[in-house]
Structure 1
Amino acid sequence: MVYKSPNIIRWNFVLAIVITIFFTSKFSFAKQSKLMGLKMNMIDRCWRPNPEWRKHRQQLVTCSIGYAGKMTNNIGKGLTHYKVTNPNDDPINPQRGTLRYGASVIQGKVWITFKKDMDIKLMKPLLISSFTTIDGRGVNVHVADNACLMISKVTNIIIHNIRIHHCKAQTPGMVMGPNGKVIHLGQVDGDAIRLVTASKIWIDHNTLYDCEDGLLDVTRGSTNVTVSNNWFREQDKVMLLGHDDGYVRDINMKVTVVYNHFGPNCNQRMPRIRHGYAHVANNLYLGWMQYAIGGSMGPSLKSESNLFIAPKVGSKEVTWRKIGHTNGDKWEFHSVRDSFENGASFAVTKGSRVQKPNYNKEQIFQVADVKSVRFLTRSSGAIQCSKTSGC
């Protein structure tokens, strides 16, 4: 007979309890994550239930939907992992460790994360190189109080989980370009994010507000853009799709606007469209002052399963169109399964077919019932992620 001391028996018993608790808690967390995932929108359900998302950040590229398609070009062979450690900014000679060094100087595939919470005041607009991902998950990052982001003549960009606000107009000057070389940049309006001749761009889970001009401009031939899970608030002009009435090249523009939260205190342009096509689906509109969706120069829009909550006073009409132009009457605005509260109404184009988005297999997604919109947009904007409770 083998004798075991009471201490050995006691430690074996404690070890058994610890192992049981560990696996039970891990199982419970996995079960909880699965249940949580069932209640999320299609994009969030793709990555947020994973308790080890930090180890698998690049999983995000498979989660995009709409015209941006899957962002798999942003990962793979040659990917540079870059961590921002310094909130300072030098627009001409960026220092290693700053956001501008990672976004403008380094070329090729770059995945940018942040070491800690930080407030970044850009001295000049940040020109972002192709195949760059700015991933603010796990920290609280503000780009604010001066210049903001410009995505110009580039492709394959992800902007994720950043707070961008109080952006100001900029005078002409020298700045590091997206090709890693110093260039002269002209006058820039005070937009949070401006796209110029850019393609395959995904703007997801950002909080944008209170800028001098607008929050998001998609201009000068930019196309294949998805704007998702963002919180737009406290702004006059929110989102502009199409440069100006005379820029006919924007007829090829295609933008998906999905799972966003507009309001409170947004006035107009959610979005305003010129020439091109937008699929606006499963968004929450918490009031407006002038209008929610507008356009000119023959734009096309499919508004699908959005929740429009009209303001208590003022305009109840969702739409606006610029009249007095040759193409003013050629607009096509269609409302499909939208919901209207507080007397909201939607002036649709009559007697013509509803244009489909015509997504390919990498872009297509199922639009949810409008009854789910409040739930699907409850996490819109930059989200807080912790090591214990996830995102």
Structure 2
Amino acid sequence: MAGHQVINFSFWSFLLVVVMVMFFTINVSSVEQSKIKGMEMNVIDQCWRFNPEWRKHRQQLAMCSVGYVGKMTNNIGKDLVNYKVTDPSDHPLNPQPGTLRYGASKIQGKIWITFQRDMNIRLERPLLISSFTTIDGRGVNVHIANNACLMIYKATNIIIHGIRVHHCRPQAPEMVMGPNGKIMPLGQVDGDAIRLVSASKVWIDHNTLYDCQDGLLDVTRGSTDVTISNNWFREQNKVMLLGHDDGFVRDKNMKVTVVYNYFGPNCNQRMPRIRHGYAHVANNMYMGWVQYAIGGSMGPSLKSQSNLFIAPTENKEVTWRKSSNAIGDTWKFYSIGDAFENGASFIDTKGGQVKKPNYSLEQNFEVVDVKFVRSLTSSSGVLKCGKTSIC
């Protein structure tokens, strides 16, 4: 009986998404319809950007995610707390009401965080985000920069959307307010824009990340069920790490979807670098690299599908493989429908079969032909949202 209830809930949740999209599309004015006809949006953006009154229906976003994160139904509901950041200051141990840390770390339960106005936030120590938290920067210009940045530590059901995170710096071991408002010790932090540690069901969408001391996005220590979509990664040496280190075998269960992102200019490597687990990398735009675009170690599995790789002047090869033992790793890197310009090349695994993502109904999405990638990634990063129009 319980199984039938789960199936019924999933069916009605999926049906609700369809009805919401149809309703908002139908109610767009004729003027907005004419604007929309000239735009090509990917399936995530089609779900909410057609609605010129998205500000009144922010929670619609939670039903738009695809890939391994699934739908973010646990981030919305009648028990949701709407919280507005009014104060850009920060205190790592005793955050005040109105600050980002108060909303993201102290308040319990489901919380949807928005921002009153444009602001630059300099975090004194890493911001540890509690479970069931959405950080929604749409409609304003929010920078988290010039010191500590974001960490998702042993938390689940997180959305980070529409934030600029840059110039993140390493942090010495310190006490900090952790998830659920508990003060905890935090060890050395390397200076990543966003780091996931033992986290699950995390959606990183439409953010602009650049110029950090270590990396831009790390998915580590058993983190899984992650979708990284519509982001703009630029001006960075190490871009994206999937898998903690060669010895952390629990990352074999890691599943990550990387879709509709724009890499470049001036990205060196790790787009992504993967260890142990599985990644579906689809419909992304690669504007060059220095060392490599996609690489890894410890026998990871990766399906590169309908991405556009534009090679730099020097190194034309997309992939890189690190051998971790004398025998050599079992590599499963497959390229399906990718396009290669300026002499780019991709070394496939010989023999075997392409490992499918095996998405569920709510995770599944259609990977479009690579000829549309330029247009579908043209609005990657933080969106410019007018006060009275669609984003």
Asked whether the equivalents of residues 264 and 286 of structure 1 are also in contact (C-alpha less than 8 Å), the reply is yes
- Aligned partners of 2:104 and 2:128 also within 8 Å: yes
State the distance in 2 between where 1:30 and 1:244 align.
48
Q: CA separation in 1, counterparts of 2:42 and 2:229?
A: 10
The structure-2 alpha-carbon separation of the partners of 1:132 and 1:36, relative to structure 1 and needing over 3 Å to count, comes to: farther
Where in structure 2 are the equivalents of 1:195-274 lying within 5 Å? 195-274=196-275
Q: SS in structure 2 opposite 1:333?
A: strand
- In structure 2, the partner of 1:390 is 390
Call closer, same or farther: CA 1:79–1:344 in 2, change over 3 Å. same
Give the one of 16, 27, 30 matched to 1:28: 30
Corresponding letter in the other structure for 1:149 = L
Q: Give secondary structure in 1 for the equivalent of 2:317.
A: coil
CA shift in 2, pair 1:273/1:144, >3 Å: same
User: Using the alignment, how far apart are the partners of 1:390 and 1:275 within structure 2?
Assistant: 41
Match of 1:169 in 2: 170
Check the 8 A contact 1:33/1:49 in 2, yes or no.
no
CA 1:256–1:347: 2 relative to 1, 3 Å: same
After TM superposition, give the deviation of residue 33 of structure 1 in Å: 5.3
d(CA) in 1 for partners of 2:86, 2:304: 42
Q: TM-score, normalised by structure 1?
A: 0.92
d(CA) in 1 for partners of 2:72, 2:309: 30
Q: Distance in 1 between matches of 2:165 and 2:228?
A: 15
8 A Cα contact 1:284 1:306, kept in partner = yes
Contact 1:321 1:328 in 2 (8 A): no
Note closer, same or farther for the CA distance 1:334–1:131 as it changes in structure 2 (3 Å cut).
same
| Partner in structure 2 of residue 340 of structure 1 | 340
Letter in 1 for 2:228: V
Deviation for aligned residue 1:384: 1.1
User: Aligned partners of 1:26 and 1:211: how far apart in 2?
Assistant: 40
Amino acid at match of 1:245: D
1:329 is matched with which residue? 329
Deviation, structure 1 residue 327: 7.0
Show CA shifts across 1:64-110 (max 9, x none): 00000000100002100000000000000000000000000001100
Quote how far apart the aligned CAs of 1:328 are: 3.7
Q: 1:29 to 1:300 in 2, by over 3 A?
A: same
The AA in structure 1 aligned to 2:87 is N
The change in CA–CA distance for 1:154 and 1:54 in structure 2 (over 3 A counts) is: same
Which string of whole-angstrom CA distances, capped at 9 and with x for unpartnered residues, describes residues 187-241 of structure 1? Answer: 1110000000000000000000000000000000000000000000000000000
Residue of structure 1 in register with 2:311 after alignment: 310
1:61 counterpart SS class: helix
Q: How does 1:1-391 map to 2 (within 5 A)?
A: 27-32=29-34, 34-35=36-37, 39-312=40-313, 314-325=314-325, 328-391=328-391
Asked if 2 retains the 8 angstrom alpha-carbon contact of 1:36 and 1:49, the reply is no
CA–CA distance in structure 1, aligned partners of residues 206 and 327 of structure 2:
35
Identity %: 74
Partner SS, residue 267 of structure 1: strand
Amino acid at match of 2:266: N
Q: How far, CA to CA, are the matches of 1:63 and 1:29 in structure 2? A: 24
Aligned-residue CA RMSD (Å) = 1.3
In 2 relative to 1, CA 165–327 (structure 1 residues): closer, same or farther, beyond 3 Å? farther
Q: CA deviation at 1:27?
A: 3.5
Instruction: Please give the per-residue CA displacement for 1:154-177, whole angstroms capped at 9, x wherever unaligned.
Output: 000000000000000000111111
Q: Which runs of 5+ in 2 are unaligned?
A: 1-26
Q: Contact 1:207/1:232 (CA < 8 Å) preserved in 2? A: yes
Task: Give the letter aligned to residue 34 of structure 2.
Answer: Q
One-letter amino acid of the structure 2 residue matched with residue 106 of structure 1? I
What are the superposed Cα offsets for residues 297-325 of structure 1, whole Å, 9 maximum, x if unpaired? 0000000000000002x210000000252
Q: 1:109 to 1:284 in 2, by over 3 A?
A: same
Q: In the aligned structure 2, how far is the partner of 1:67 from the partner of 1:51?
A: 28
Give the direction of change, closer, same or farther, for the CA distance of 1:102–1:32 in structure 2 (3 Å limit). same
Q: 1:28, CA displacement in angstroms?
A: 1.9
Preserved CA contact (<8 Å) 1:33 1:50: no
SS in 2 for 1:156: strand
The one-letter code matched in structure 2 to 1:252 is: N
- Please give the secondary structure, in 1, of the residue aligned with 2:51: coil
Q: 1:328 to 1:85 in 2, by over 3 A?
A: farther
Query: Could you tell me the TM-score, scaled by structure 2's length?
Result: 0.92
Post-superposition shift, 1:329? Answer: 2.8
Q: Distance in 2 between matches of 1:327 and 1:355?
A: 23
Q: Which runs of 4+ in 1 moved over 4 A?
A: none
Q: In structure 2, how many angstroms separate the alpha carbons of the residues matched to 1:66 and 1:327? A: 34
Contact 1:144-1:165 within 8 A present in 2 as well:
yes
Gaps of 5+ in 1: 1-24
